[in-house]
């Protein structure tokens, strides 16, 4: 549970003496019986020695001093850090970091009862977690089937934002369908790798290299992404990979740094019928949330971007992207045939330190009819009321630097034809929305 302010961490320590000596009753939750397991499930992946959490939370002695702050953070749903609203939009998500309300209630009840230890014999065994520099998806999928590294780049200890955009051979000898992807910064440059985008390049009939499709989009805090069952994000043979790596020096110089993308393939026996009416062709798509803009000192701003497809699509994931003045983003769809507008996903507590790809559970990815409009709306707060704002006296424009702002999202899109759109509706027990009547009669 990484906090956003070290000042808040130390001020919370003033509350600790009030808890000293409290034992609670037999009916109260205890650390040994309930809370230790909740912390294992939700906190320790970041809060352990060597990880990004500012304190370790692997034992009762480590957890108890921070109990008042933990109470605040979980009640405000700032921790675990997963900026996705609980009360609006599609709630069925894969890899959802949000803590269950029951667990929040247990944590609060434990702290309010004085944070009792309980019976040490009821403690769970220690849990092992991947360390920085190891593949997070490997715990479930094993090591990647194929890896591709960027060309080496010397990252200085200090300086301005910089971009490294090499092209490298993919060394993929046979076209395959991707099952999962993870982009892994080096352990030494983990803190300075702001983002790393990658895409495939293939040769056309003239021998010229052209973009084939997105491979992956990594931003700080993102772990990896899965391709939905039945969808094929293709890794083309004899291709190149183009990188766009944004470094922001963090005081740690790294020589010959390389970013690596790991690819897990579908099994050879997985069949993707090219003639089926909705064999999915999945692509990672950039959705603009508004063009050029300028936020005045102590000002606020809302931007919007719009996009339509001339064929039906299914959205399989949504990854919003803002910087330090961004506070919220929502994705909606407007269907001109019915006149209805629906909120698909919303993040109202944005934190640029964590960039999650929110993947919809199977059967819940929103179906977008042809010519419907996807609306991406973002809100920015350049005032002192924004605790993550480094300087409210500055004008802030749209740009590539960390101190500039951005307003866009990445969406995984499964392209469908009309027959495939209807088949998925039927699978879900749904029918096409009735078009509204037009004209005066």
- Same domain assignment for residues 195 and 104: no
Q: According to the model, what pLDDT value does residue 231 have? A: 75
Position 323 pLDDT exceeds 60: yes
Q: Range with the lowest mean pLDDT among 23-27, 242-246, 289-293?
A: 23-27
Beta bridge partners of 288: 408
Q: According to the model, what pLDDT value does residue 276 have? A: 45
pLDDT band at residue 221, thresholds of 50, 70 and 90?
A: low
Q: Which distant-in-sequence residues (6+ apart) come within 8 Å of 355 by Cβ?
A: 195, 218, 219, 220, 221, 222, 319, 321
Can you tell me the mean pLDDT for 291-297?
91
Instruction: Kindly report the backbone phi and psi dihedral angles of residue 53, in degrees, each rounded to the nearest multiple of 5, phi listed first.
Output: -65, 140
CA 198/CA 149 separation, integer angstroms: 10
In a domain, 130, yes or no: no
> Tokens 């921790």 belong to which residue?
79
Q: According to the model, what pLDDT value does residue 347 have? A: 94
pLDDT band at residue 4, thresholds of 50, 70 and 90?
A: very low
Residue at which a domain ends, from 234, 253, 272: 272
pLDDT band at residue 31, thresholds of 50, 70 and 90?
A: very high
Torsion of Cα atoms, 101 then 104 then 105 then 106, to 10°: 120
> Tokens 């020695």 belong to which residue?
49
In a domain, 132, yes or no: no
Task: Tell me the three state secondary structure of residue 396.
Answer: strand
- Same domain assignment for residues 299 and 434: yes
Residue at which a domain ends, from 272, 295, 330: 272
Instruction: Kindly report the backbone phi and psi dihedral angles of residue 271, in degrees, each rounded to the nearest multiple of 5, phi listed first.
Output: -105, 135
Q: Range with the lowest mean pLDDT among 5-14, 104-113, 342-351?
A: 5-14
Q: According to the model, what pLDDT value does residue 439 have? A: 56
Question: Domain of 217?
Answer: 137-272
Can you tell me the mean pLDDT for 143-165?
93
Position 192 pLDDT exceeds 70: yes
In a domain, 239, yes or no: yes
Instruction: Kindly report the backbone phi and psi dihedral angles of residue 438, in degrees, each rounded to the nearest multiple of 5, phi listed first.
Output: -110, 155
- Both tokens of 39, joined, read 């912390």
In a domain, 128, yes or no: no
- Same domain assignment for residues 300 and 377: yes
- Please give the full DSSP string across 263-301, using - where no structure is assigned: EEEPPTT----TTSTT-EEEEEEEEE--SS-EEPTT-EE
Higher-confidence residue: 301 or 136? 301
Give, for 60, the enclosing helix (H) or strand (E): helix 60-63
Q: What average pLDDT is seen over the chain?
A: 85
Whose CA is closest to 259, among 210, 194, 318, 209? Answer: 194
- Same domain assignment for residues 39 and 167: no
Give, for 360, the enclosing helix (H) or strand (E): strand 358-360
- Same domain assignment for residues 231 and 317: no
CA distances from 197 to 7, 259, 426 (A): 34, 10, 36
- Same domain assignment for residues 37 and 145: no
- Both tokens of 19, joined, read 């808890």
Q: According to the model, what pLDDT value does residue 271 have? A: 58
Higher-confidence residue: 220 or 415? 415
Position 315 pLDDT exceeds 50: yes
- Same domain assignment for residues 265 and 281: no
Can you tell me the mean pLDDT for 225-235?
80
CATH of residue 310's domain is 2.60.120.230
CA 197/CA 217 separation, integer angstroms: 4
CA 197/CA 352 separation, integer angstroms: 17
Condensed to tens digits (0 to 9), the pLDDT of residues 157-170 reads: 998 888 899 999 99
CA 345/CA 363 separation, integer angstroms: 16
Beta bridge partners of 264: 180
Q: How many domains does the chain have?
A: 3
Position 172 pLDDT exceeds 70: yes
Torsion of Cα atoms, 150 then 154 then 156 then 160, to 10°: -50
Position 211 pLDDT exceeds 90: no
Position 129 pLDDT exceeds 80: no
CA 381/CA 255 separation, integer angstroms: 37
- Same domain assignment for residues 217 and 314: no
In a domain, 294, yes or no: yes
Residue at which a domain ends, from 252, 272, 292: 272
The answer to whether residues 268 and 177 touch, using CB atoms and an 8 Å cutoff, is no
Q: According to the model, what pLDDT value does residue 249 have? A: 87
> Tokens 């939370």 belong to which residue?
57
Position 52 pLDDT exceeds 80: no
Compute CA 393 distance to the chain's CA centroid, rounded to the nearest angstrom.
Answer: 30
In a domain, 129, yes or no: no
- Same domain assignment for residues 290 and 420: yes
Can you tell me the mean pLDDT for 36-54?
85
CA 441/CA 436 separation, integer angstroms: 12
Task: Tell me the three state secondary structure of residue 15.
Answer: helix
3 DSSP assignment? -
In a domain, 131, yes or no: no
- Same domain assignment for residues 110 and 218: no
Higher-confidence residue: 45 or 156? 156
- Same domain assignment for residues 234 and 290: no
Instruction: Provide, rounded to the nearest whole percent, the portion of the chain with pLDDT above 90.
Output: 53
Q: According to the model, what pLDDT value does residue 234 have? A: 86
In a domain, 243, yes or no: yes
- Same domain assignment for residues 58 and 144: no
CA 110/CA 71 separation, integer angstroms: 9
Q: According to the model, what pLDDT value does residue 12 have? A: 40
């Amino acid at each position: 549970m990484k906090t956003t302010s070290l000042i808040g961490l130390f001020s919370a320590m003033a509350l600790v003496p009030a808890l000293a000596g409290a034992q609670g009753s037999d009916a109260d939750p205890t650390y040994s019986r309930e809370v230790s397991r909740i912390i294992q499930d939700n906190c320790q992946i970041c809060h352990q020695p060597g990880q990004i959490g500012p304190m370790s939370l692997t034992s009762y002695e480590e957890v108890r001093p921070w109990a008042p702050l933990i109470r605040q953070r979980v009640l405000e749903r700032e921790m675990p850090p997963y900026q996705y609203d609980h009360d609006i939009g599609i709630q069925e998500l894969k890899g959802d970091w949000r803590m269950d309300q029951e667990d929040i209630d247990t944590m609060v009840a434990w702290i309010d009862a004085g944070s009792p230890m309980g019976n040490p014999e009821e403690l769970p065994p220690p849990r092992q977690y991947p360390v920085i520099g190891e593949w997070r998806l490997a715990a479930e999928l094993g090591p990647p089937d194929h890896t591709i590294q960027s060309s080496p780049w010397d990252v200085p200890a200090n300086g301005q934002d910089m971009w490294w955009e090499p092209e490298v051979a993919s060394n993929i000898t046979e076209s395959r369908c991707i099952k999962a992807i993870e982009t892994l910064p080096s352990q030494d440059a983990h803190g300075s790798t702001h983002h790393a985008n990658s895409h495939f390049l293939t040769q056309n009939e003239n021998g010229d290299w052209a973009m084939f499709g997105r491979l992956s989009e990594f931003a700080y805090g993102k772990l990896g992404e899965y391709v939905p069952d039945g969808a094929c994000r293709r890794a083309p043979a004899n291709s190149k990979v183009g990188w766009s790596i944004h470094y922001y020096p963090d005081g740690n110089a790294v020589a010959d740094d390389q970013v690596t993308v790991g690819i897990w393939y579908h099994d050879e026996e997985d069949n993707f019928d090219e003639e089926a009416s909705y064999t999915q062709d999945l692509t990672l798509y950039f959705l603009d949330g508004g063009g050029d803009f300028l936020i005045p000192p102590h000002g606020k701003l809302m931007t919007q971007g719009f996009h339509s497809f001339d064929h039906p699509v299914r959205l399989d994931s949504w990854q919003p992207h803002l910087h330090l003045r961004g506070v919220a983003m929502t994705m909606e769809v407007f269907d001109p045939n019915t006149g209805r507008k629906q909120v698909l996903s919303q993040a109202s507590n944005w934190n640029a330190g964590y960039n999650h790809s929110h993947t919809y559970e199977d059967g819940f990815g929103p179906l977008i009819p042809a010519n419907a409009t996807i609306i991406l709306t973002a809100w920015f707060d350049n005032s002192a009321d924004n605790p993550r704002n480094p300087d409210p006296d500055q004008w802030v424009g749209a740009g590539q630097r960390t101190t500039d702002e951005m307003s866009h999202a990445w969406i995984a899109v499964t392209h469908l034809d009309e027959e495939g759109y209807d088949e998925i509706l039927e699978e879900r027990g749904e029918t096409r929305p009735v078009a509204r009547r037009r004209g005066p009669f």
